[in-house]
Amino acid sequence: RLPLPQKPTLVPLTIREKASPAYTREARELRVEGEVLLEVLFASNGRVQVLRLVRGLGHGLDESAVRAAEKIRFSPAQREGQAVDISAIVHIVFQLS
Protein backbone atom coordinates (compact mmCIF):
# COMPACT_ATOMS: atom_id res chain seq x y z
CA ARG A 1 0.00 0.00 0.00
CA LEU A 2 1.08 3.53 -0.77
CA PRO A 3 1.48 5.94 2.15
CA LEU A 4 -1.16 8.66 2.37
CA PRO A 5 0.04 11.99 0.98
CA GLN A 6 1.18 14.36 3.70
CA LYS A 7 -0.69 17.63 4.09
CA PRO A 8 1.68 20.60 3.88
CA THR A 9 2.36 21.84 7.39
CA LEU A 10 1.10 25.35 7.99
CA VAL A 11 2.44 27.39 10.88
CA PRO A 12 -0.09 30.15 11.63
CA LEU A 13 0.93 33.78 11.74
CA THR A 14 1.69 35.29 15.14
CA ILE A 15 0.43 38.75 16.06
CA ARG A 16 3.24 40.53 17.91
CA GLU A 17 1.74 43.99 18.38
CA LYS A 18 -1.63 45.69 17.85
CA ALA A 19 -2.39 49.41 17.81
CA SER A 20 -5.42 50.77 19.62
CA PRO A 21 -7.86 52.43 17.21
CA ALA A 22 -8.50 56.12 17.76
CA TYR A 23 -12.03 57.34 18.45
CA THR A 24 -13.23 60.27 16.37
CA ARG A 25 -14.87 63.18 18.21
CA GLU A 26 -18.12 62.60 16.32
CA ALA A 27 -18.26 58.91 17.27
CA ARG A 28 -17.43 59.74 20.90
CA GLU A 29 -20.20 62.41 21.05
CA LEU A 30 -22.69 59.96 19.50
CA ARG A 31 -21.44 57.22 21.88
CA VAL A 32 -20.93 54.78 19.00
CA GLU A 33 -19.59 51.38 20.08
CA GLY A 34 -19.11 48.12 18.25
CA GLU A 35 -16.63 46.48 15.96
CA VAL A 36 -15.36 47.11 12.47
CA LEU A 37 -14.60 43.99 10.42
CA LEU A 38 -11.83 44.21 7.84
CA GLU A 39 -10.53 41.62 5.41
CA VAL A 40 -6.76 41.88 5.73
CA LEU A 41 -3.86 40.31 3.86
CA PHE A 42 -0.96 39.38 6.14
CA ALA A 43 1.76 39.24 3.49
CA SER A 44 4.79 36.97 3.60
CA ASN A 45 7.02 40.09 3.59
CA GLY A 46 5.57 41.23 6.95
CA ARG A 47 3.31 43.94 5.55
CA VAL A 48 -0.40 44.33 6.28
CA GLN A 49 -2.75 45.24 3.43
CA VAL A 50 -6.41 45.99 4.12
CA LEU A 51 -8.34 44.39 1.26
CA ARG A 52 -11.88 45.53 2.07
CA LEU A 53 -14.29 46.74 4.71
CA VAL A 54 -16.58 43.83 5.64
CA ARG A 55 -18.72 45.68 8.21
CA GLY A 56 -18.30 49.26 9.35
CA LEU A 57 -19.61 51.65 11.98
CA GLY A 58 -19.26 54.95 10.12
CA HIS A 59 -18.52 58.28 11.86
CA GLY A 60 -14.83 58.04 10.90
CA LEU A 61 -14.33 54.79 12.80
CA ASP A 62 -13.92 52.68 9.66
CA GLU A 63 -10.92 54.77 8.58
CA SER A 64 -9.53 54.68 12.12
CA ALA A 65 -9.86 50.87 12.11
CA VAL A 66 -7.97 50.67 8.80
CA ARG A 67 -5.14 52.80 10.24
CA ALA A 68 -4.98 50.58 13.35
CA ALA A 69 -4.97 47.39 11.23
CA GLU A 70 -2.14 48.72 9.07
CA LYS A 71 -0.01 49.06 12.24
CA ILE A 72 -0.35 45.39 13.26
CA ARG A 73 3.07 43.76 13.63
CA PHE A 74 3.21 40.03 13.02
CA SER A 75 5.37 37.06 12.16
CA PRO A 76 4.16 35.66 8.80
CA ALA A 77 2.49 32.28 8.50
CA GLN A 78 4.75 29.57 7.11
CA ARG A 79 4.08 26.57 4.89
CA GLU A 80 6.89 24.03 4.81
CA GLY A 81 9.34 26.58 6.18
CA GLN A 82 8.49 29.32 3.68
CA ALA A 83 6.64 32.53 4.62
CA VAL A 84 3.25 32.71 2.91
CA ASP A 85 0.47 35.26 2.44
CA ILE A 86 -2.65 34.70 4.54
CA SER A 87 -5.88 36.67 4.43
CA ALA A 88 -8.12 36.90 7.48
CA ILE A 89 -11.00 38.86 8.94
CA VAL A 90 -9.77 41.26 11.62
CA HIS A 91 -12.13 42.60 14.30
CA ILE A 92 -11.30 46.14 15.49
CA VAL A 93 -13.33 46.83 18.64
CA PHE A 94 -14.47 50.32 19.61
CA GLN A 95 -15.57 50.61 23.23
CA LEU A 96 -15.96 53.77 25.25
CA SER A 97 -14.54 53.54 28.74
* pLDDT at residue 8 tops 70: no
Residue 54 CA to residue 31 CA, distance in Å, equals 22
* pLDDT at residue 7 tops 80: no
The pLDDT tens digits for 31-87 are: 999 999 999 999 999 999 999 999 999 999 999 999 999 999 999 999 988 999 999
CB contact at 8 A, 87 and 39:
yes
Phi-psi map region of 25: left, alpha, beta (phi>0 left; psi -120 to 50 alpha): alpha
* pLDDT at residue 95 tops 90: yes
pLDDT of amino acid 72: 97
Sign of the dihedral through C-alpha 69, 48, 72, 40: positive
